[in-house]
Amino acid sequence: MQVTIEAATRAEAELIAQALPVQAQARSWRGFGVVRVRAQSGSEAERLLDAVARSFHEHRLRWARVRYGDDERVFRAARRPAG
């Protein structure tokens, strides 16, 4: 199954790619960062999703979206109150 990970920038996608349990390369597409990898099973896709979640929180990324099969998961940074 194809797993597509999108981030706000290529630099953010590179941080995510480095955290994945498989070898992956970040690319730039229409100004966004994109990482595409193959998962052999649903459980492998879940491991990739877990790695993206850890990287997202560790690096305090702005947003990331993971699409695999018919599923999609979006991570968004919490908005800070103006003040």
Domain boundaries in the chain? 2-76
Pairing relationship of beta strands 71-76 and 63-68 according to DSSP bridges: antiparallel
Confidence of residue 59 (pLDDT cuts 50, 70, 90): very high
Record the pTM.
Answer: 0.87
pLDDT for res 44: 93
Closest by CA to 59, choosing from 4, 25, 2, 8, is: 8
Beta strands in the chain (DSSP E): 2-7, 26-29, 32-38, 63-68, 71-76
pLDDT for res 83: 59
Contact 63/6 with Cβ under 8 angstroms? Answer: no
Question: Would the pLDDT of 81 be above 90?
Answer: no
Q: What amino acid occupies position 38?
A: R
Give domain 2-76's CATH architecture: 2-Layer Sandwich (3.30)
pLDDT for res 10: 96
pLDDT for res 48: 94
Contact 52/3 with Cβ under 8 angstroms? Answer: no
